[in-house]
Structure 1
């Protein structure tokens, strides 16, 4: 930092994506998307909140000086510590990007359903499912990672069973009505809020993580009841962690098309029936996510 101050250093007039993302994203998603992604680096993202009670959307949008882009969602430009915002102490909401809330929104789980949230930390999706009255098992690889989930459950007054285990070795005591797998990934989709990820992941190979994603997906499908749904998601803007996995690793479970009427305004399913969120799709920005929904046929 001292060297930069002595130069003195200055920012370029227009932000730009670091290599190789400048070329890769333009190739995969088009020049307009790459330009929107670069422009977003100069903007401080608003904060998205998911509400415990969807029926109170209008109330909390007003109380938090925000807008709602979907039932149970508020986007606010408020600054400062979220712990001091209205509704935090009473557990009325939790911080969760709109894109990150979509996988649970697209899982047709209802009160009383037995649902598995794989790779659950930090717990936003567990909270969404618990708020519906589902019997949620939230699994992650270590108890340390589950501590944040535990804290949010305590704050919101919601309930879930927390399991610290390796999903590649763990065995459930029965089948689940539905499963949500937000798989470990490169996390390049969260670059708006964490631009450092583009520098940390720029030269990282995806071989090991895509093997893990495929293994988790194959394993999870076997834990579904016949007719059950599985939603697979990654917060990555790389096709190898999204579309390629869903196309190659269906594990005997047919794809279930996601409809446009299931998505917030500004988003649309792909021709294949997946969801792909990209910079520039929603006013104010949205994280990059890939989402696919599968269904297990009767044995």
Structure 2
């Protein structure tokens, strides 16, 4: 007999397993996991269950351990199913009877009685989760004294941020869309809004881009027809910003698939850029650039609000690999600048090895970031760099973790 909602729960279980056991991202695992889930609502539910399970995993495990005489192994299926069941009740407000019906069905031929007993015990205790998720021990060790503030920013999934093609119409679009704005060219909407149905989407008046992700292109300045290289450009939010700011943009990326999305966004917004698919370590420009924006490949730990899988996939090995790649890209980019040209470096990472340590090695003239270039509530570091994390601007809905630095050549 078919149980309503069971395919979504089975898919969520597969998503979590792909992250924890195989080190895949939620996006990478979604294709196979969601193949048998029908309907947008059930697909969204699948992602929500998996995301909240990963976001609160340490706290869910602590509850499970408090209700068992003998600790379940970390890789035991009953533990994984119980995590999903508790995430639904405690984070998604799913009725317990629906959780039991779909959760125990995932343990067909297995220890259903054990899972039912643990779940029932915890429901009778009226357990709850802490205000902020407890981060995995290796993550807390890396982030040190910043951990508590970052964790506070992860308690809820993020709102929806839009970057406007015409910043002068910020107040108009905030009113039209029923949103708020934290700086010119930005509108923030509640999470869960159907983007394609919003006014201005088809006309290309805006695109989806986290507030922190929009800052590196802003810090590149006004183009006035000058040439800029958007290095590692896809999926294209920064390319759109640079083009809208009057730059003559060359957008370079190695990924054909991701560049297709960039081209689609250029067509939708009516903005122009030269799109180049190439390996940055093989490609050479015909002439040096007035500015280069390097939003470098990174561990993306700063996106943990919307991608909680990074809390479980990323370790010291991945950080070291990305730091090596970033250093080589920075060296290459510096050689492509005109005298007096501007280099902006950014990563959506919370790891110092990918941010501060990289900036300290750049042999160009620093161009410090000023407070009046940033949203109210953010400040540059003493070095003139920018460091954001998910705990900042919390009352306004927060933002992703980014590191940004800027230099001039000569």
TM-score interval, normalised by the smaller of the two chains = over 0.9
2:279 and 2:220 mapped to 1: Cα distance?
A: 23
Alignment partner, residue 387 of structure 2? 276
Of the two structures, which has the highest relative contact order with CA contacts closer than 8 Å and spacing of 6 or more? 1
Q: TM-score, normalised by structure 2?
A: 0.68
Further displaced range: 49-58 or 254-263: 254-263
Aligned-pair CA distance for 1:12: 5.8
Question: RMSD between aligned alpha carbons?
Answer: 1.6
Counterparts in 2 of 1:28-177, with a 5 A limit? 30=145, 33-77=146-190, 79-177=192-290
Contact 1:234-1:242 within 8 A present in 2 as well: yes
Aligned-pair CA distance for 1:198: 1.2
Alignment partner, residue 404 of structure 2? 291
Name the SS for the 2:137 alignment partner: coil
1:19 has 2:137 as partner: yes
Structure 1 208/34 Cα, relative in aligned 2: closer, same or farther at 3 Å? closer
Contact 1:119-1:140 within 8 A present in 2 as well: yes
Deviations 1:83-118 (A, max 9, x none): 111111110000000100000010123220100000
Match of 2:339 among 194, 217, 226: 226
Deviations 1:229-250 (A, max 9, x none): 00000000000000001102x1
1:178 and 1:107 mapped to 2: Cα distance?
A: 7
Contact 2:255-2:277 within 8 A present in 1 as well: yes
Deviations 1:162-209 (A, max 9, x none): 000010110001011100000000000000011111111146432221
Aligned-pair CA distance for 1:78: 5.2
1:183 has 2:299 as partner: no
Alignment partner, residue 210 of structure 1? 323
Alignment partner, residue 243 of structure 1? 356
Aligned-pair CA distance for 1:38: 2.0
1:183 and 1:162 mapped to 2: Cα distance?
A: 17
Give the unaligned 5+ runs of structure 2.
1-12, 14-76, 82-102, 105-114
Higher helix share: 2
1:38 and 1:231 mapped to 2: Cα distance?
A: 28
Name the SS for the 1:128 alignment partner: helix
1:59 and 1:232 mapped to 2: Cα distance?
A: 32
Higher strand share: 1
2:221 and 2:168 mapped to 1: Cα distance?
A: 18
Q: TM-score, normalised by structure 1?
A: 0.93
Contact 1:64-1:78 within 8 A present in 2 as well: no
1:255 and 1:38 mapped to 2: Cα distance?
A: 32
Alignment partner, residue 258 of structure 1? 369
Structure 1 17/184 Cα, relative in aligned 2: closer, same or farther at 3 Å? same
Name the SS for the 1:67 alignment partner: coil
Give the unaligned 5+ runs of structure 1.
none
Larger radius of gyration: 2
Contact 2:220-2:293 within 8 A present in 1 as well: yes
Contact 1:253-1:295 within 8 A present in 2 as well: yes
Deviations 1:41-67 (A, max 9, x none): 331211111000011100111111111
**Number of equivalent positions:** 290
